Chains A and B, each alone.
Chain A
Amino acid sequence: MQPDAISAKTTPVPAGATPSGRTLPEGEALLSVRGLKKVYSTDGGPIEAVRNLTFDLGHGELACLVGPSGSGKTTLLKCIAGLLGATEGEVLLDGKKVTAPPKKMAVVFQEYGRSLFPWLRVADNVELPLKNAGVPKAERRQRVADALEAVGLEHVPKSYPWQLSGGMQQRVAIARAVAYQPEVLLMDEPFAAVDAQTRADLEDLTRRLWKDLGMTILFVTHDIDESVYLGERVIILSSSPTVVQEDIRIDLPEDRDQLETRGLPRFTELRHHVYEQIQLAKKGHRPDAALA
């Protein structure tokens, strides 16, 4: 397969696209991933899940990480979250190396049913990390109430998570993260297990929280539409062993609407482009920068 032949067929690269992860000048990045490599040692020998990843996330960015299934997205996210140690390279948060889960980070997992504690009521689930962090009781109450209101769940604080629908459970998990007031919110395919209607609602909720609260969000998904609709920036990962395939800016209007935005020609164009890049990635095409 000739790389040149493939790239000739793709749609024009959108403005602001780089063939590898975008980096910021020193001191400006909130989150930096530098030469990240993760090799699992298994009984069948080492497996390289992530080969070499480098990109930066600035303050207040909303970036989506998209890649073919099995491209090590979850591994990458866990390395960033400090849940997994990297084999090589490093993750920096505010210039400090991440070796354990940092205080300024919160993760929303895909498996909301397993990430929420079934023995705690909704409000208690949201409150637990704050209690653990030693936040005074009055402030805790306020933050829990605010977070539940922000996700539209102010009416069910006394319910148990398993009494709620899947979408509502994921809202609880988001509220828990929001109440924690992280600088970076990591979301690992959070809406993969809910139905399409709920999913659209949750996408809009995520955009709204991002705008209202000014958090930095890194959103991992395998859904191309979702990544383009949600993100201000989409980082496309190659298939495993993973490198950054392309890093593009999503120049869609800031106010997004499920019908209107998705109907824009620009949305279709970006969507096409991401789709093609992922197809290339699946065929084993790598950007030149990663080969160097």
Chain B
Amino acid sequence: MRILKSVAYVVALPLLLVLLWWASTRGEPNFFVPTPAALVDVFGPTWFEGRITGDVLPSVGRLLAGLAIAIILGIVVGLLVGLNRTLRALTEPVFEFFRALPPPVLVPVLILLVGLNDGMKVAVIVVGCIWPVLLNTIEGVRSIDPVQNETTRSYGISGLNRIRYQVLPSAAPTIMAGIRQSLSIGLILMVISEMFGSSSGLGFTILQFQRSFAIPEMWSGILVLGLIGLALSLIFQWCERRVLRWYHGLKEVENAA
């Protein structure tokens, strides 16, 4: 009974919305919005006959590659800068500028510098996504508890061991928050780098549907993008819960007190 009730809570509103959508498109056909049935009809043929391997997977692959590079680079540079007070002060204004720079403007810049190719698309994602990770890593390292530092020092824990056992875990909550921001920026950049002068990929395809007024197909593309976003967010949440289990537990105890 309890399970039934929570299932009802999960599906009730989505069902209601689909019903509403169906009812409002039932009468005379709307040019902009297809019926749910038309969308379902068109979804399979549009995506599962070649586009998934030709457009979707390469797009997602570039996104993941760009994100991975950005996260690793951001954490490594963030550690180097964060652990050094002088370096931190030296780089802060420049980094703040790059964080504030709206990442989409990187697309035309990198087209110039790298050219119109896959490398550019990955580079756009790397250059756009690195800042939240980098700056949050610096912040996480900077705000490490001084008692923690004295503890590691007094036990002679230094160098890589200190980074592995103290600095990284301690900064992990802040770093994860940065990665979360990077994910949504990465997705935006994946789409628009393909919309801005490209001949393949998810962003290009969806824009192509719109230009040729293939409206149900365009909506199915929006749906695919939404599903990718959802999948990315679910994977991230799963990772975050694993990595930060201790942190959420600690917060719960602190809040209860």
A pairs with B: yes
Contact in complex: B148, A117 (CB < 8 Å): yes
Please, which residues of chain B bring their CB within 8 A of the CB of A131? 165
Whether, in the assembled complex, A219 has its beta carbon less than 8 Å from a beta carbon of chain B, the answer is: no
Interface hit among A58-66, A108-116, A143-151:
A108-116
Interface hit among B56-64, B153-161, B203-211:
B153-161
Indicate with 1 or 0, residue by residue over A110-140, a CB within 8 angstroms of chain B CB atoms.
0100110111100000001101110000000
Contact in complex: B155, A118 (CB < 8 Å): no
Contact (A132, B165) CB under 8 Å given A81-B154, A83-B153: yes
Whether, in the assembled complex, B235 has its beta carbon less than 8 Å from a beta carbon of chain A, the answer is: no
Contact in complex: A129, B157 (CB < 8 Å): yes
The number of chain B residues with a CB under 8 A from chain A is: 22
Contact in complex: B156, A132 (CB < 8 Å): yes
Contact in complex: A129, B155 (CB < 8 Å): yes
Task: Give complex CA distance A111, B145 in Å.
Answer: 11
Please, which residues of chain B bring their CB within 8 A of the CB of A114? 145, 147-148
Contact in complex: B156, A117 (CB < 8 Å): no
Contact in complex: B154, A160 (CB < 8 Å): no
Whether, in the assembled complex, B231 has its beta carbon less than 8 Å from a beta carbon of chain A, the answer is: no
Task: Give complex CA distance A115, B247 in Å.
Answer: 16
Task: Give complex CA distance A117, B147 in Å.
Answer: 10
A85-108: which have CB < 8 Å to B?
A: 101, 103, 105-107
Indicate with 1 or 0, residue by residue over A46-82, a CB within 8 angstroms of chain B CB atoms.
0000000000000000000000000000000010011
Contact in complex: B165, A163 (CB < 8 Å): no
Contact in complex: B250, A118 (CB < 8 Å): yes
User: What is the distance, in angstroms, from A174's C-beta to the closest C-beta of chain B?
Assistant: 13
Please, which residues of chain A bring their CB within 8 A of the CB of B169? 117, 119-120
User: What is the distance, in angstroms, from A82's C-beta to the closest C-beta of chain B?
Assistant: 8
Whether, in the assembled complex, A275 has its beta carbon less than 8 Å from a beta carbon of chain B, the answer is: no
Which of B153, B157, B249 contacts A128 (CB under 8 A)? B157
Contact in complex: A101, B153 (CB < 8 Å): yes
Whether, in the assembled complex, A210 has its beta carbon less than 8 Å from a beta carbon of chain B, the answer is: no
Contact in complex: B161, A132 (CB < 8 Å): yes
Please, which residues of chain A bring their CB within 8 A of the CB of B172? 119
Contact in complex: B157, A119 (CB < 8 Å): no
Contact in complex: B151, A109 (CB < 8 Å): yes
Contact in complex: A107, B147 (CB < 8 Å): no
Whether, in the assembled complex, A180 has its beta carbon less than 8 Å from a beta carbon of chain B, the answer is: yes
10 A-B contacts, Cβ less than 8 Å apart? A81-B154, A103-B156, A109-B151, A111-B147, A115-B148, A117-B166, A119-B246, A129-B157, A132-B165, A162-B253
Assuming A83-B150, A132-B157, what are 6 further A-B pairs, CB within 8 angstroms?
A81-B154, A83-B154, A106-B154, A115-B150, A118-B250, A160-B246
Q: Which 5 A-B pairs have the closest CB atoms?
A: A129-B155, A114-B147, A119-B169, A119-B246, A107-B154
